[in-house]
Amino acid sequence: MPTATRLETISGGVTRPQGFRAAGVSAGIKVKGLDLALLVSDGPATAAAVFTTNRAQAAPVLVSIDHLARSGGVARAVVVNSGCANACTGEAGLAVAKGMAAETARALGCPAEQVLVASTGVIGVELELSKIERALPQAMGALGADQGSQAAQAIMTTDPFPKEAAVRFNTGGTADATIGGMAKGSGMIEPMMATMLGFITTDALVPQPLLQRALRAAVNDTFNAITVDGECSTNDCVMLLANGASGVTVDSSSYDAFLEALRAVCLKLALGIVRGGEGATKLITVTVTGSASAVEARRAAKAIANSLLVKTAIHGGDPNWGRLIAVAGRAGVEFELSRAAVSIGSIALFAGGRPHDENTPAVAAYLQGTDIDVSVDLGAGTATSTVWTCDLSAEYVKINAEYRT
């Protein structure tokens, strides 16, 4: 299959593709700041989504799953609030999530099942529908193709910065298509499709089965390959809307080109989540090689990325390769110590069954940077996997110790 004949990173986010508008307003859910986002396609869009695997799924997740099934994968809008997860809130929470969709649908003049819902914030707190009802007219009035950044701000909780991405691509035809996205997430992050939300738009026309297939593939290599603290939330979701406004159609012959562009947007957003992890000072790329299978490579990479000892050592600039070997050895995957190796940056610390402590000073200097590469060879095969994480600082503890207070 061909890859994109041109793939260009451009500015913007969810409203960069043609035919999409967004808004971000304050509904008073949070003490201050924007907390209600609205994303609208000018016409019906094909929709795909992936959701948290947490069995304590929040009301908006349940409602969105139901709406996708009832609409046959068609959506006009997504309404998102921050400041309250509307999770573990029982029948009252479900009524609020349904009400958010119904009020948005009434304002747009579309069926309620064509509106998807997402929420993020504190679990177990009731969301006041009246606040959203009062703010929706303002959001409708603020809708614009230049308001994507406002929407990206409105979905944040503890995020230190908004996350947006967009690319323009061409599959060999006369017209270009665009994919744009926004995401939130900073803590409670290990998506297994965290508190992470992702919203992606494209002006290409993509049949729903292909759209769902592409989203799952892109998410697996990006959002599902990140972790901040190993926690899977109740509200995680990634939603993708394709409205066809560009006139570009994606079929089986151009699927790989579309997937390449989609993966580029997802990866930028996913790395933004890690880089903005609660209390994070370093972005860490963990690459596992020499694994017996791709599944085991991912398992080992996630184990390393989630290790508190590894994360704190890197935060402190300590080139403690023994922690990496120890995690690899207890990850429950095939592992051959005599053939294993550890490198930080491009510098070997353990190889051939023995340590290379003479390289420790160079690694200690490298660890003072903000973008850190860690490589572990399991010595058991040829499969590889890459996972992204961040360091663990005292600030992470402070943020989460005070989250509700």
Alpha-carbon distance of 97 to 60, in angstroms, equals 5
Q: Say which residues have a Cβ less than 8 Å from residue 200's Cβ, sequence separation at least 6.
A: 14, 179, 180, 181, 215, 238, 239, 240, 241, 262, 265, 266
- Taking every pair of Cα atoms in the chain, the longest distance, rounded to a whole number of angstroms, is 69
Mark whether 195 is an active-site residue. yes
E strand or H helix at 215, and its extent?
A: helix 208-221
Alpha-carbon distance of 38 to 142, in angstroms, equals 9
Alpha-carbon distance of 77 to 110, in angstroms, equals 9
Q: Phi and psi for 155 in degrees, rounded to 5?
A: -90, 0
- Distance in Å from the first CA to the final CA of the chain: 53
Q: What is the CA radius of gyration of the chain?
A: 22
- Closest to 48 in 3D by CA, of 66, 18, 74: 74
* Catalytic residue chosen out of the listed positions 104, 157, 195, 389: 195
The label of the residue with tokens 């309620």 reads 112
H and E: helices and strands count for the chain: 11, 15
The label of the residue with tokens 């992204």 reads 388
E strand or H helix at 309, and its extent?
A: helix 308-315
Pairing of strands 354-355, 347-351: antiparallel
Q: Phi and psi for 113 in degrees, rounded to 5?
A: -70, -10
- Written as six digits, the tokens of 125 are 């707190």
The label of the residue with tokens 């961040």 reads 390
Report the b/e string of 187-216 with b at 16+ CB within 10 A.
bbbbbebbbbbbbbbbbbbbbeebbbebbe
132 in Cβ contact with 117 (< 8 Å): no
Alpha-carbon distance of 132 to 106, in angstroms, equals 13
Chain center to CA of 384? 21
- DSSP 8-state symbol, 40: E
Q: Which residues are catalytic?
A: 195
